[in-house]
Amino acid sequence: MTVNTSPLWEAARDYVAASLCVIPIDSKPTKKPAYNFLPVTGAWPDGRPRRGWKPFESRRPTDAELLSWFNSWGCSCGIAVVCGAVSGGLEAIDIDSSEYMIPWMEEVQRRAPELPERLVMVRTPRPGLHAYYRCSEISGNVKLAQRTIVDQATALSETKTIIETRGEGGYALIPPTPGHCHPSGRIYEYSTSRTLLDVQEISIQERAMLFNVARTFNEVPRRPAPIRPVITPRVLDLRKPDDDFNAKADWNELLLRHGWSFSQRDCDGKEHWTRPGKAEGTSATLNYQGNGLLHVFTSNADPLESDRSYTKFHFLAIMEYQGDFNRAKQELRVRGYGQTSLVQSTPSRQGRGGSGRAFRGRSRRRR
């Protein structure tokens, strides 16, 4: 067999030899994984096979997989490193803009003069910076600094993350990814002589210092972590159209109708769903501990709010009736939801001295 010794294949092989996990990146300028090359991890609701890179959060690719990704028909792909334990405790600080890159580096050097030399620095196309290290203590992706951006045309504001980490569950594009894999057309390149083949380990205290410096650039007040109440199921009153809808409607149909996509199902029955406009990842979970609710994590699923749980009826009312719950109930009643009260009538009570009126409204309890 003839092996293509392209720079991408050679780099991927060297990275894996250095105890790093890598995955292929789509040749289109999306920065997304090349899903067509990745293993099947499940199925979409319509039965099509679903492919993903999640298996590589716990194992590194084989030689055969590297060849299938970066040989003659796959060499236009980019390459990304998977952070976390699978890459030996690899973590990166991702600085989104050059506006913060130099001030962050200068402050780190002021506090710990020798530390910057031990970091692996990659200049990103934006331009920005990825600073890599290994540590015995790492976490998932963490937002360290944010700012509020106001659109001059619409006067609408949004919160933008300017510094965050890439840890467990995260990946980052690395050299020698071709420029066509990024929307800017520019490449990722090392800005230090040290590369990812020689990532150094830093102490927990040094990692905390890097985080603290990044947080000094935060412009958005941090909200306290919400206390999530224990949700206990209540008895549904099926005479009410909203409760009847909650009992009969299908979450799958509701979410798909509004552009959400199914991601995966855990062994405990909890489902992960991805918001409209996003290709992968968990934007909300469904049926946590069997509660039957949709819990939204993302702040980009307007008009749904982040860190809130929704019943089927709440989701319907917000998405289709602009949050008008009374109108939603009325419409559901017209559509046949809400069991009417039982009507029990008698031919007549005149023979027993009654008034001849029928029993209407509430049903009588059997004894």
208 and 330 together in one domain: no
* Residue 358 domain flag: no
The predicted-structure confidence for 100-117, as pLDDT tens digits, reads as follows 999 999 999 999 999 999
Q: Which residue is listed with tokens 């894996």?
A: 16
* Residue 53 domain flag: yes
What tokens appear for 200 in the block?
Answer: 């150094």
Q: Could you say which DSSP state residue 180 is in?
A: G
Helix pair 241-248, 325-334: axis angle to 10 deg: 70
* Residue 110 domain flag: yes
Which pLDDT value is given to residue 217?
A: 93
Sheet-wide strand order for 284-286: 261-265, 271-274, 284-286, 294-296, 308-310
Confidence of residue 361 (pLDDT cuts 50, 70, 90): very low
Amino acid occupying residue 163: I
Confidence of residue 208 (pLDDT cuts 50, 70, 90): very high
294 and 162 together in one domain: no
The predicted-structure confidence for 229-260, as pLDDT tens digits, reads as follows 444 555 667 788 998 999 899 999 999 998 89
Query: Of 198, 215, 232, which residue is a domain's last?
Result: 215
Assess whether pLDDT exceeds 50 at residue 357: no
Q: Which domain holds residue 280?
A: 241-334
CA distances from 83 to 99, 138, 174, 233, 248 (A): 25, 10, 12, 39, 43
* Residue 93 domain flag: yes
113 and 260 together in one domain: no
* Residue 354 domain flag: no
195 and 64 together in one domain: yes
Q: How many separate domains does the chain show?
A: 2
**Spatial separation of the C-alpha atoms in residues 303 and 296, rounded to whole Å:** 11
Which pLDDT value is given to residue 323?
A: 86
Exposed/middle/buried for residue 226 (C-beta within 10 Å: 0-12, 13-18, 19+): exposed
Assess whether pLDDT exceeds 60 at residue 1: no
Amino acid occupying residue 6: S
b/e per residue 94-117 (b: at least 16 CB within 10 A): bbbbeebbeebbebbeeebeebee
What is the domain-level CATH number for residue 163?
Answer: 3.30.2250.10
Which pLDDT value is given to residue 73?
A: 52
**Spatial separation of the C-alpha atoms in residues 324 and 239, rounded to whole Å:** 20
The predicted-structure confidence for 255-291, as pLDDT tens digits, reads as follows 999 889 898 887 778 898 988 877 777 888 898 878 8
Structural contact between residues 10 and 3, judged by C-beta atoms closer than 8 angstroms: no
124 and 158 together in one domain: yes
Calculated CA dihedral for residues 241, 243, 248, 250, nearest 10 degrees: 110
Query: Average pLDDT in the 298-325 region?
Result: 86
**Spatial separation of the C-alpha atoms in residues 89 and 4, rounded to whole Å:** 30
The full length of the chain comes to: 367
Structural contact between residues 99 and 35, judged by C-beta atoms closer than 8 angstroms: no
The residues that bridge with 225 in the sheet, in sequence order, are none
**Mean pLDDT lowest among 71-85, 124-138, 214-228, 263-277:** 214-228
- Of 329 and 322, which is predicted with more confidence? 329
123 and 270 together in one domain: no
From the CA atom positions of the chain, what is the Rg in Å? 28
11 and 71 together in one domain: yes
Tally Cβ neighbours within 10 Å of residue 166. 24
264 and 194 together in one domain: no
**Spatial separation of the C-alpha atoms in residues 260 and 301, rounded to whole Å:** 10
* Residue 25 domain flag: yes
Reduced to 3 states (helix: H, G, I; strand: E, B; else coil), residue 26 is coil
Q: Considering the chain, what is the average pLDDT of its residues?
A: 84
What tokens appear for 343 in the block?
Answer: 């009507």
The predicted-structure confidence for 113-149, as pLDDT tens digits, reads as follows 999 999 999 999 989 999 999 999 888 888 899 888 8
66 and 156 together in one domain: yes
